[in-house]
Amino acid sequence: MHEEFGPGAGRGPVTVVGIPARDEARTVGAVASAADEGLHRAFPHGTNVVVLAENGSTDGTAARFAGTPLRARKVVVSSPGEGTGKGTNVFAVMDRARALAADRVLLLDADVRSAEPGWVGRLADAVAGAEPVLAVPSYRRDRYEANTTNHLASPLLAAVYGVHVQQPIGGEFAFNRALLERSLGWPRPESASLYGIDVWLTANALREGIRVVEVPLGRKLHNSPFPKILRLPQQVLDSLFHVVLRTDRLRPAGPGRPGARAAVDGTAVRQDPEVVSRVTASVARYLAAHRDGVARVFPSARGLRPAPWGLRVTTDEWPALLSDALAAVAGGLFEPARDHLVALYVNRVLTFWEEIDGLTGGEVDRLLDRQAAATARAVRDRGVPLGGAGGPERFDVRHWAGFTGEPAPRPAREPAR
């Protein structure tokens, strides 16, 4: 661990901004500078700390951060690359924040190209007070991005917890000391050390009835996550399903109607066709190998029609498939529900892209609102029982390797010997 103390360190309340990163040398300096300026504006007399938590970077990420002039303290926490992920870095930030007796903690993704100093004050204000509170971002995104958010995390959380959070895995989070301490009691599935970390935070907060505040942050520009579409959602679903299984029952919708989304902006950059082609070929191989299992776990999939990319999964059909997934998880079929759902999800994303062709941003938002509301109704009408089954102890990141043509990575942690 490397630590550097800037000349402006004060003795007031302690605010920590954590930047989880791996090989983000191109953008980490700008994110750190925005965080530093925001801390100086919001807490000019406080103790401000910017923590870079990186795991196995090979492009000079730590050196770029260390060489960026900041008024706040600088802390660098490094972990090995193998068997680690974004969650490893977030947990490292949280550990460091506890050691510093931080009053509030903010998280900024290292690959964001639109980070603004004003984000710091807005996120920090949202978590003021003694009661535990979690702040999550609300921002406008390219209509071809945020797919795991739009089609998995947001509708499933709405179905289980009765709360429609627009960006439950957005990355730019904040929480206060009370939530930091509360989180020590939350079991950590292995996937929470990977891309499951964001939904682990949001779902646990909702499970415990902790206040979750959505903070408008404008536009978000960052590296497209689509090339991770077979890895990231599997990890997100794994963490989410673990938390769901610790939930005693489906929660009713909160009082009042949720506000209309305003999450899609005018930017529309289609994904690389070659990457899309490779992904769809991998999914087709997976579905061919698991045809009978998919039909058993997802009875609603039996009537899906073919499409040029594989299967057509419409806005009206997707809620029933998500309901099938939750029922299967509650019935002890955790891993097949998780992994088969990833394959169906990719087909949902490609169908969605066709559905929104020619729609305005507002029309896309309304379609996604309708999808989340329909998912909540489908799960509620089915009466999915929770609180009985348990999730697997281990998370194997190698599951999709046989279908992607890529070499199999190591598990999240080496098996006990």
- What confidence tens digit (pLDDT) does each residue in 216-226 have? 998 887 676 67
Give the relative orientation of helices 334-355 and 232-245 as an angle to the nearest 10 degrees. Answer: 130
Which residues pair with residue 74 across a beta bridge?
4, 50
State pTM to two decimals. 0.92
pLDDT of residue 414: 36
DSSP letters of 223-282?
A: ---GGGTTTHHHHHHHHHHHHHHT-SSPPPPPSSPPPPP--B-S---PPPHHHHHHHHHH
The pLDDT-based confidence of 403 (bands split at 50, 70, 90) is: confident
Considering the chain, what is the average pLDDT of its residues? 90
- What confidence tens digit (pLDDT) does each residue in 78-102 have? 999 888 899 999 999 999 999 999 9
Which residues pair with residue 176 across a beta bridge?
104
| Stretch 36-49: mean pLDDT | 97
Between residues 323 and 391, which one has the greater pLDDT? 323
Phi, psi at 161, each rounded to 5°: -110, 0
Nearest CA among 341, 272, 339, 349 for reference residue 307:
349
User: In the chain, what are the domains?
Assistant: 2-225 (3.90.550.10), 273-403 (no CATH)
> Encoding tokens for residue 44?
């000019």
The 3-state DSSP class for residue 393 equals coil
Q: How far is CA 316 from CA 265, 304, 378, in A?
A: 24, 11, 11
pLDDT of residue 400: 67
Q: pLDDT above 90 covers what percent of the chain?
A: 76
> Encoding tokens for residue 235?
């990890």
Torsion angle of alpha carbons 242, 246, 250, 253, nearest 10°? Answer: -80
DSSP 8-class letter at 260: P
pLDDT of residue 399: 67
